[in-house]
Amino acid sequence: MIISDLLDKKIAILWFGLEWKSSLNFLLKNHIDPSNLTILDWNKLDNLPQDIKHISWKDYLKDISQYDIILKTAWSSIYLNKELIPVRNKIITQMQLFFDNYKWKIIWITASKWKSTISSLLYQVIKDAWKDVKLVGNIWTPVLDEIDFKKQYDYVVCEISSYMLEFLNKTNYISILWNIFPEHLDWHDGFQNYLKAKLKILDGSKLNIVCQSTLDKYNWIPKQYTNIVSYWKSWTYWWSNWFFTKDWSPLFSTKDVKLLWDHNLENICAILATIDQLSIDPLSAKQTIDKFKWLAHRLEFVWTYNDINFYDDAISTTPESTIQAIKTLNDRIDTIFLWWTDRGYNFDELAKYINQSNIRNIVLFAPSWKKIKESLKDNNKINFLETDDMALAVEFAFQHTSKSKICLLSTASPSYSIRKNFEEKWNLFKQHIKEHSKAQK
């Protein structure tokens, strides 16, 4: 929807959040009549421009059908707000406005987990190849604040979530799809809606770069899309015998790569497949890849206190991502902190990996002990602590974690039941580790 399509339309900006001020400023900057704008939110908002209408409290969605366009924050679900389902054809997001008003080369990236690593590393590789590139989307500031629509970048790298894909219609340059496993099931009202949203990344792309494991798992994908290049165990872009390869020919060694372990090697293979399309020499990319380190909250080594190594994997909020953490750190883990917010997850596979590991201590935060403990019911070697108090959890870790072993914050589920977000969870973890360490001196 280009800017001219918004003129003389009654527009609702739906829900307070990170995006609403950005959306409002974008519309006003592009000369949309303020009298046509209404902000809808349960909460009463202060400091709004005087000529902007605002409807709040329990009836804020009562007359939603009167608007021509509903500009919705990506993070809010229509499935959890049933009043929006009849008007879903009127809903757009910031990502749609970005796409419709920026017409040059966009590389979209999505996955259930670890898409931020691909996005950040791909951006850096392209930048170090002396290309004019911009990184936007998902975990960064709102895209409408980031993009200069008058500027033609060589490439825009855009990390996009299932929330953003749900309402996106696009044609673009390259799309990268890595893993798909159950995630955000409450937001999407089940896995099928989530899967459908994720696969929209492949619509309208000049080229799709897809992990072979995903193609194998959802083997009907090639029947719909013919413009696919695969990587990882596809014999095209892979890792074998400590070398990245293309068509079995070595590209460069992994000896100096800091992002080791399977899921990060897959990340790098996706990047190698992409830069091949951009005519960027993999040997020049090697310098960037070799020095690239972990992003924050992703299997990040933090401190050693009292000979215990503390690792932050706070962004792991699915069983699958925590399984990868266990596989990566392996027998070094002695203590792990787990959460459970009911998103319909099955923890049996995670329980299998825990049972096969040397993990001896598990902190279960409310209400996780009911579901996760049921999956671990046959394991008699585990020392459990059930709590909703991070201070008690950290004290437990100091008391029971063996010297030179790891205490890992990798919760396998969101913590919304008792925490605002993963950053708050991490901050409490860090705070109480420092406080306990100081108290022991």
* Whole-angstrom distance, CA of residue 276 vs CA of residue 248: 15
Question: What's the CATH number where 266 sits?
Answer: 3.40.1190.10
Distances (CA, A) of 361 to 259, 338, 340, 344, 401: 27, 11, 17, 25, 7
Side-chain-facing half-sphere of 339: CA atoms under 13 Å: 28
* Whole-angstrom distance, CA of residue 94 vs CA of residue 143: 7
Do the beta carbons of residue 382 and residue 365 sit within 8 Å? Answer: no
| Lookup result for tokens 């002396």 | 130
pTM value is 0.81
Tell me 168's DSSP state: -
Question: What's the CATH number where 412 sits?
Answer: 3.90.190.20
Same domain, 282 and 163: yes
* Whole-angstrom distance, CA of residue 87 vs CA of residue 281: 48
Same domain, 53 and 159: no
Amino acid at 188: H
pLDDT of residue 260: 61
Last residue of a domain, one of 291, 320, 349: 291
Same domain, 83 and 38: yes
Same domain, 245 and 137: yes
pLDDT of residue 40: 93
Quote the number of domains for the chain: 3
Same domain, 108 and 244: yes
Please state whether beta strands 69-72 and 91-92 pair in parallel, antiparallel, or not at all (unpaired). parallel
DSSP sequence for 62-129: TTGGG-SEEEE-TTS-STTSGGGGGGGGGEE-HHHHHHHH--S-EEEEE-SS-HHHHHHHHHHHHHHT
Last residue of a domain, one of 92, 114, 131: 92
Q: 439: which residues sit within 8 A by CB, 6+ positions away?
A: none
- The token pair that represents 402 in the structure block: 């063996």
The number of angstroms, rounded, from the C-alpha of 288 to the middle of its chain's C-alpha atoms is 22
Last residue of a domain, one of 291, 325, 349: 291
Same domain, 379 and 406: yes
Domain range for 58: 3-92
pLDDT of residue 423: 65
Same domain, 280 and 193: yes
One digit per residue, the tens of pLDDT, for the chain of length 441 reads 889 999 999 999 998 667 888 899 999 999 999 999 999 988 887 777 778 899 988 889 999 999 999 999 887 889 988 899 999 999 999 999 999 999 899 999 999 888 888 999 999 999 999 999 999 986 668 899 999 888 999 999 999 999 899 989 999 999 999 999 888 888 899 999 999 999 999 999 999 999 999 999 888 777 778 899 999 877 789 988 889 999 989 999 998 888 767 778 899 999 999 999 999 999 999 999 999 876 666 778 888 988 999 998 887 878 888 988 898 888 899 999 987 666 677 888 888 899 889 999 999 886 656 677 777 776 778 899 988 888 999 999 999 999 999 999 988 877 554 444 556 776 788 888 888 776 665
Same domain, 138 and 85: no
Question: What's the CATH number where 38 sits?
Answer: 3.40.50.720
Same domain, 158 and 46: no
pLDDT of residue 173: 97
Same domain, 140 and 278: yes
Same domain, 357 and 243: no
Do the beta carbons of residue 347 and residue 372 sit within 8 Å? Answer: yes
Same domain, 110 and 188: yes
